[in-house]
Amino acid sequence: MKAKRLWRALCLSVLAVQLWAQAPASGTVQQQTDGQSTAQPIGSDEIKQLRDRIAKQEEEIKKLEQSVEEQRTMLEQAIKSNTAPAPTTATANPAPATAAGPELMGKAVSADVVPVVNNVARVSRRGPQIRETTAPPSPLSISIGNTTFTPLGFADATFFLRSTNVGSGIGTNFAGIPFNSAAGGKLSETNFTAQNSRIGMRIDSNFLGWKVLGYLEADFLFNNNANSFQISSNSAGFRLRNYFADVQKGGFEVLGGQDWSMLTPNRKGISPIPGDIFYTQDMDTNYQIGLVWTRAPQFRFIAHPNENVAFGVALENPQQYIGGGNGSGAVALPSGLSSIIGQFQYSPGLNVANSITNVPNLFPDIQAKLAIDGTPGGRAMHFEVAGVVRGFKDYLLPGVGGSAGVAGSHTAVGGGGEINSNLEVFKNFRLIENVFFSDGGGRYIFGSAPDFVVRPSGAISPLRADSTVDGFEAQVTPNTLLAMYYGGLYIGKDVVIDANGKTPVGYGYATSAGTQNRYVQELTFDWVQTLWKNKNYGALSLINQYSYVFREPWYVAPGTAAAGGPRQAHTNMIWVDLRYTLP
C-alpha cells in the first residue's frame, strides 16, 4: 500500500509541475504582442481543454498503477512457484499443534484446544470436510515435480510402572489384570523402553485432477513379549501401523490399505489421517479400555456433499473371534467341538490363529459412518453416528459334537452401533463422549471380549459387548495440555448346558475361574508439557499419564472373598515419557 501511495503522489506531482509550467496564473493567459506581454482573461473553452487534459492524464496514471500491480502479483507468484513445495492433500480441519502429545502421527484438534501436539497433518484450523487445504512445508520435505515427500516421526524414552505385574509391556492388557491373591498381583513392574518411537513418510501429489495422499507409519512394538527384552540387547521388532493410499476428486474420496478402523472415533470428519482420529492422549500403547479401534486392511468410500457433512462406507478385514487375546477370557466350547477351533481366531494354546488370512471369515465387516462438523457460536463441534454388520460361520463334519452336533454350516449375523461427539464447550476446553453397543462386536474393543459363543449343536450366538470413553481435554496454556478420561467395558452373559446335561459352557458361567469378565473400567489423567518447540528443529515434550484399572469377572470361586481374596482385580499405572518430535 505504501508503494502504491508513493507512486500516485509522484505521478500527480509530475502532472502538477507540467500544468504549472504550461498555464499562467489563475484566471488569465499571457499573450505576446509586439514584444510586450499582456494579461487577458481565460475563456471557457480553454478551461474545458485544461480539465479534459487533466482527466486524460489521471486516466493514464490509473492505467500505470494497474500495470504496476499486475507486475507485482506476477512476481510474487513466480517466487512462490520456485520456492514452495507442491500442493499436498491434507484432511480438512486439523489444527496446528502447540504441545507434543503422546500419539504423534498426525494428531490434531482445533486451534483452541490442541490436545495433540504431535500433529503431522498440520493445516488450517477450521474448514470444509473436503480435503482441499494443503499442509505447510516442513523443513524436511523434498519436492520432486508436483510430488512432496515429508518424513515424520518421533523418538521416545519411556518409563512405566504398575502396582501389579500385568506382564504385557508398555501396552496394558486391561482384561488380564491379576488378582492380588495371585503372584502377579503381589509383584509390581518397572520398565524403561524406546519401543513406542515412530518413523514414517507422507507423500502428497496430484494426478489427472486427483489429489493423491500416501501414508506410511511404523513403530517397534512387534513381538512385544519376553523375547523382545533380552538381557544384553533389546530386540524390539519393527512393525507396520498404517500404510494406505487415499485419492480424492471433487466431493468423492477412495482409500485402500491399512489404517485405523472407520469405527474409531474421529475428531474431524471421516479423515484417515491419525491427527484427525480420537484415540486419547494416553502414553499407554493400548490406549484406554472402552475405546473402539483396530488398524486393519480396508477399502473406504467417502462422499462429501458439502463442507460440513461426510458420509462413508468401508469394507474391513473381519476376524471371527472367540476371545483369549489381550488378557481376555475365552468362551468355553461344548465338548466334542474342539476340532472346529481352527475356524476362529483364538489366542490360547489350542490354536493360535493370529494371521489375518488363517480364519475363514464369512464376509468383510461392513461399516458406515455419518459425520457432521460445524462451529456453532464460534466453537468447534464434531458429531458422528456409525454402525457395523458382521458375519460369522462355522462348519461341523458328520459326527462332530456327538449326538448334539448338527452337521453342516451354521451362520449368524452380528453388529453394533456407536454415537460419538467432540464438543468445544468454551475456548480451549473440549468435552468428549463415545458410546458403542453391539452383539458380536467384542473384537473392536481391543479384543477384550469374544464375538460369540458356540452352542452344542454348532450354532453361533453373538455375545453382547458395550463400551464407552468419556472425558475432557483442555489446553490450559500454549504449552500445557491436561486431559481426563473414563473408559468402561461391559460383556454380557450367554451360558448353555452342554450335551451331558450338567456342564455349563459359553461365557459367564459359574466355573470360569475368574477369567470371563463382566466389566473392566479405567480412570486416566494425562499431562502433556511442551518444553520447547521450533518450526525448523522440532519439539521436545514431557508426557505423563496415571491410570487406575479394575475388572470384575462374572464368577469368583465360593469362599474366596470370605478368605480375604478379592472380587475385583485392580492396578495403578504410571507413564513418564520424554519425546523429541520431528519438525
CATH number at residue 272: 2.40.160.10
Give yes or no: residues 260 and 384 share one domain. Answer: yes
Torsion of CA 398, 400, 404, 408, to 10 degrees: -50
Contact 292, 298 (CB under 8 A): no
Grid coordinates representing 215? 501414508
Residues 52 and 166 in one domain: no
Tell me: do 474 and 353 sit in the same domain.
yes
Confirm whether 331 is domain-assigned.
Answer: yes
Cell of 377: 457460536
Domain match, 170 and 56 both: no
Residue 503 domain-assigned? yes
Q: Residues 189, 52: one domain?
A: no
How many domains is the chain partitioned into structurally?
2
3 state SS of 345? strand
The domain of 282 spans 142-581
Q: How many CB atoms lie within 10 A of CB 358?
A: 14
Cα–Cα distance list, 411 to 331, 335, 355, 364, 401 (Å): 17, 20, 22, 14, 17
Residue 488 lies inside a defined structural domain of this protein: yes
Residue 441 lies in a domain: yes
Cα–Cα distance for residue pair 408/399, rounded to 1 Å: 10
Query: Global pTM?
Result: 0.77
The DSSP secondary-structure symbol of 242 reads: E
Which position has the grid cell 518397572?
A: 190
8 Å CB contact between 547 and 156 = no
Q: Is 248 within the bounds of a domain?
A: yes
Q: How far, in Å, CA of 214 to CA of 204, rounded? A: 6
pLDDT in tens, the chain (583 residues): 544 554 555 555 545 445 444 444 444 444 443 444 444 555 677 777 778 888 887 788 877 777 777 777 777 776 665 544 444 443 333 333 345 555 444 443 333 333 343 333 333 333 334 444 445 668 899 999 999 999 999 999 999 999 999 988 899 999 999 998 889 999 999 999 999 999 999 999 999 999 999 999 999 998 755 556 667 777 888 999 999 999 999 999 999 999 999 999 999 999 999 999 999 999 999 999 999 999 999 999 999 999 999 999 999 999 999 999 999 999 999 988 888 888 888 765 433 444 556 788 999 999 999 999 999 999 999 999 999 999 999 999 998 988 899 999 999 999 999 999 999 999 999 999 999 999 999 999 999 999 999 999 999 999 999 999 999 999 999 999 999 999 999 999 999 999 888 899 999 987 777 789 999 999 999 999 999 999 999 999 999 999 999 999 998 776 555 455 678 899 999 999 999 999 9
Residue 145, Ramachandran bin (φ over 0: left; ψ between -120 and 50: alpha; else beta): left
Distance CA 331, CA 548 (A): 27
Is 99 inside a domain boundary?
no
CB burial class (10 A; 0-12, 13-18, 19+) of residue 418?
Answer: buried
In single-letter form, the type of residue at position 336 comes to G
Same domain, 433 and 288: yes
Residue with cell 490434531: 108
Same-domain pairing of 65 and 184 = no
Q: Is the residue at 86 inside a domain? A: no
Helix (H, G, I), strand (E, B) or coil at 158: strand
Is residue 568 a contact partner of residue 560, using CB atoms and an 8 Å limit?
no
Residues near 392 by Cβ (< 8 Å), separated by ≥ 6? Answer: 320, 362, 411, 412, 413, 414, 440, 451, 452, 460, 462
Question: In the numeric block, which cell numbers belong to residue 24?
Answer: 499562467
In this structure, are 409 and 309 located in the same domain? yes
Q: Distance of CA 261 to CAs 254, 264, 529, Å?
A: 14, 5, 29
Residue 301 lies in a domain: yes
Q: Which residue is listed with cell 527384552?
A: 229
Indicate whether 14 and 151 sit together in one domain. Answer: no
Cα(551)–Cα(172) distance, integer angstroms: 13
Distance CA 400, CA 334 (A): 11
